[in-house]
Structure 1
Amino acid sequence: MDATNPETKLPAEFEIWKEKAESTFWGLLGCEFEELTDKQITVSLDIKPHHLNLIGILHGGVHATMMDSAMGLMAMIARPRESVVTTNLNLHYVAPTGQGRIIVTAELVHMSRKLVNTQAYARTGDGELLAFGTGTFRVIEPKAPVPADDHN
C-alpha cells in the first residue's frame, strides 16, 4: 500500500480501520489492502478452495463482499468523521474464475451531504474483468453527546 506517498491524504482513522478489519468478515475471507490514495483503493484476495461455489468458480458473495468493502472504504475516506452504511449495491458478474488472485479497485463517483456514490471493478491478476458495480452509502451524522445528569 502506498500510504507513505506524500500525495496520499489519508484520514488518521485509516490505520485503526485497517487493524479492526482483520477481526471481521474481511479478515476471515483473507482480503488484503494493496494500494490506497485519496481517489482510489485497491484490495486483493488469493482464491482458495473455500471461496468457490459448488460448480468450482469464485462465489458471487466473495465478489460482493470485496466490492462492497472497497467502495465502503472509499466512502469512509471521503467522510472520515461520520459513519456510512451501504444503501444500494448493484453488481454485474461478467466472467467466472476459480483460481489465482482477484483484485478489486474502487473509486469515488459523487458525494452529497447525505450520500456517497462509488464504483468498483473486480479483475483477475491478469486484468480480465470479472465483475463491476456501483454502491451508494448513506452518511449517518454523528450523534449529539448526551448531557451528564447533574442530580448525582
Structure 2
Amino acid sequence: MSETSSGKPGLTREQLADLSRHFDEDITFSRHIRAKVKEAVPGEATLYIDVQDFHLNGAGTLHGGVYASLIDNTMGLALISEVGVRTATIDLNVRFLGAVREGRVTCRAEVVHRTRRLATLEARVHDDLENLVALGSGTFRIFEKQGRPLV
C-alpha cells in the first residue's frame, strides 16, 4: 500500500488496475454474473451488469440475489482499494427500490467509516435512466495480512 497522487492512502494506479482485472476475470461468481469494474479508486468503486435473461427472477425482473451480489462486490472492491489487504463481509443489508427488466445497472460504493479492523460502506444501484433501484450497506472485516491478489 502507498499514498496515491491525491495524498490519500490506498493502492497505486497499477495495483488498482490489477485489482480491477482480478475482479473482472478471476473471481468466479462475479464472472458468472458478468459484473464488470467501471472504476476503482481508494475508498470508492463502481461496477455494472448488463442485464440478461439469466439475471431475471420468475417475475421477469432482476433477481434480488443479483442486486445483493453486485452491491457486495462493489463495496468489497471499494474497501480493498483503500486498505490493500484482504477483507470479508460480515454484515450486508439490501433495500430493493425498483424493478429492472433490461439494460445496465450500475452500482457505486464508498467507504463511510473505517477503523483498523472494521469498515462500514454504502452502495447505490441505478438503472440506465439513473433511477435509484437499490440501496446497500455493509460492514466488513479488515484482515492485517495481505491476501491475494494484492501486493
Unaligned runs of 5+ in 2: 147-151
Q: Supply the distance in 2 between the matched residues of 1:37 and 1:13 (Cα, whole angstroms).
A: 10
Task: Report the identity percentage.
Answer: 30
> What is the aligned-residue RMSD (CA, Å)?
1.9
Query: Paired residue for 1:79?
Result: 83
Query: Paired residue for 1:17?
Result: 19
What amino acid does structure 1 have at the position aligned with 2:69? T
Provide runs of 4+ in structure 1 moved above 2 Å.
6-21, 35-40
Query: Paired residue for 1:89?
Result: 92
Q: Supply the distance in 1 between the matched residues of 2:42 and 2:83 (Cα, whole angstroms).
A: 11
Unaligned runs of 5+ in 1: 1-5, 144-152
What amino acid does structure 1 have at the position aligned with 2:141? R
Q: CA deviation at 1:77?
A: 1.4
Query: Paired residue for 1:69?
Result: 73
Query: Paired residue for 2:46?
Result: 42
Residue 60 (str. 1) matches residue 70 (str. 2): no
Q: CA deviation at 1:39?
A: 4.1
The verdict on how the C-alpha distance between 1:26 and 1:64 changes in structure 2, with shifts beyond 3 A counting, is same
Q: Supply the distance in 1 between the matched residues of 2:57 and 2:111 (Cα, whole angstroms).
A: 30
Higher relative helix content: 2
Moved more, 126-135 or 30-39: 30-39
Query: Paired residue for 2:125?
Result: 122
Moved more, 19-28 or 125-134: 19-28
Secondary structure at 1:43 match in 2:
strand
TM-score norm. by structure 1 comes to 0.82
TM-score norm. by structure 2 comes to 0.82
Q: Supply the distance in 2 between the matched residues of 1:25 and 1:14 (Cα, whole angstroms).
A: 20
- The alignment covers a number of residue pairs equal to 137
What amino acid does structure 1 have at the position aligned with 2:73? S
